[in-house]
Structure 1
Amino acid sequence: MQVKHLLLIAILSLTAACASQDALDENLSETQLYQQAQQDLSNGSYTSAITKLRTLESRYPFGRYAEQAQLELTYAYYRNAEPEAARAAADRFIRLHPQHPNVDYAYYLKGLASFDQDRGMLARFLPLDMSKRDPGAARDSFNEFAQLTARFPNSRYAPDAKSRMVYLRNLLAANEIHAAHYYLKRQAYVAAANRGRYVVENFQGTPSVADGLAVMTEAYQRLGLQEPAAASLATLELNYPQHASLSRGRFVPRESETDGRSWLARSTLGLIESDAPPPRASDANREVWRQYQQAQQELPEEIRSPSTPRRADEPAQGRSWRSRLTFGLFD
């Protein structure tokens, strides 16, 4: 989506938010409030829907639509890009109505809110590496989807939750590898080896296991521990002979033994790098991103976000340098 469109949406949203501050007609019945909220949800006016659903709940706490309004309030918060509010609303619904026939939907929305929490507006314009982001929201989402699949294995949302858990597990493993490479770069070889071993022991089946073995091999070699280094290398060669660290039967360390960075890079702790090659996306990170796109495409239609990334087989739109520089303002 182009920035000029985003600006227009922001202006319209602000106008709608200001308009929603006006007090609703006190003579509206419970049914009228609920119907108006449903119309707002259908039109994508989530801020207005949130106002009406909250008003409905406060005016008619024991009415016929009270429980449904609480559940739909969670959905409205999620679609309005308010993940914390969505999670809080889901927790409240689960706590108040643990036996509700649609309580599995509350668990599902709670997991989705955490799933999308780290992906803001910048992710639409910049090629962010999700394995380098704070994994807190990913862990929360994994645990929430795990609760859903454990409590409601036959839920209609369980298959999608399970596929997202696979992606999240791969993402968490890739995040550990990113931390391990950071330690290698800083010559903290014991910490790097521990991170690599943690991935190998706890994330079997993920694309990052090969990277974990490579990290262990490099770290053990730097430490002069020949026996564990040889064992890690043998496992890597046996199971992942095509790994990027193996070249013509030889192991190629990723980091040089001495810190060859410039004085500017060293003095700023790597915040400012000079003459450094661009970061190369690992196989694990590419797989994580592919799975995220697939998970977004498989989102149920009724809660699918308009910002869902395009499919891999859809052609990318060509953009000029001026368009990229101005985020599409002068297309």
Structure 2
Amino acid sequence: MTNAFPFSAIVGQEEMKQAMILTAIDPGIGGVLVFGDRGTGKSTAVRGLAALLPPIMAVAGCPVNSARAEDVPDWANLKDSGLIEKPTPVIDLPLGATEDRVVGALDIERALTQGEKAFEPGLLARANRGYLYIDEVNLLEDHLVDLLLDVAQSGENVVEREGLSIRHAARFVLVGSGNPEEGELRPQLLDRFGLSVEVTSPTDIDVRIEVVKRRDAFDRDRDRFGGAWHADDMALRGKIVTAREALAGVEASENMLRDCAELCVALGSDGLRGELTLLRAARALAAFDGAASVTRDHLRSVAASALRHRLRRDPLDEAGSTTRVARQVEEVLG
């Protein structure tokens, strides 16, 4: 059994769980930003989902989890390595991480002992084809934010330093969490997250009791608790795998595209990333539901997650971004 808390056992937080599932179906959505109170299951959900997902097939010994031998970087110096099964990577990026630790650097040990210039891969290499998780992402240092923006844009990590010229694939689902009371996120990085979710502590007494009961049972006997929820997790895994296979065939009519555009115009979101993310998220949800095409119900379900963090501030409107999105969804979609 995995040591992660079962994803299916998480109580409530439906929007957060839906956002995580959608990025598992279509990583191109662009990751998830989860803002809210401490102790609301943010990191639990990330690790639970990663443990739930089917393992990946990767070249044995490849530092960037390449799926094919021809994709292994030359600097890895691998020869005749076969494929092995690996868990979906989930890599934590600590706030205090140095730039070298994140992007990689010269392998000092080999340089000193063997006189060779060799590359020591960083966290971005390990996160390829998986998840890069940043807790308290709003406190991340600016120079690391700039690095992440470059990699998120290109899907490739490029290192030019100390006589090295290295590049490798770095495609991952970026998941950030934080408490908005501790500071805001830079707009440039905020825009790179496909979906954003606001989580709060439950106020219903029965819900809080159920959360405590499940966590206590997990802490007392992880194997037993995991076994009790294993069937639910495997059923959810099956739905995600099926949705991945069906995703390309899900249709979006001209009317749905018009709905996306009208909603984004009504909200005043900048650029076209809002429409594209809204459409991709709705299509992923349709695939998860087993639908052949995107409907207005799918758009309604993902609109807040896809658009709330893309709104301009309106000093004349004191309503929060979630309320503003809900209001326009009602007006545009009915």
Please state which band the TM-score falls in when normalised by the shorter chain. Answer: under 0.3
Q: TM-score, normalised by structure 2?
A: 0.23
Greater radius of gyration (CA): 1
Q: TM-score, normalised by structure 1?
A: 0.23
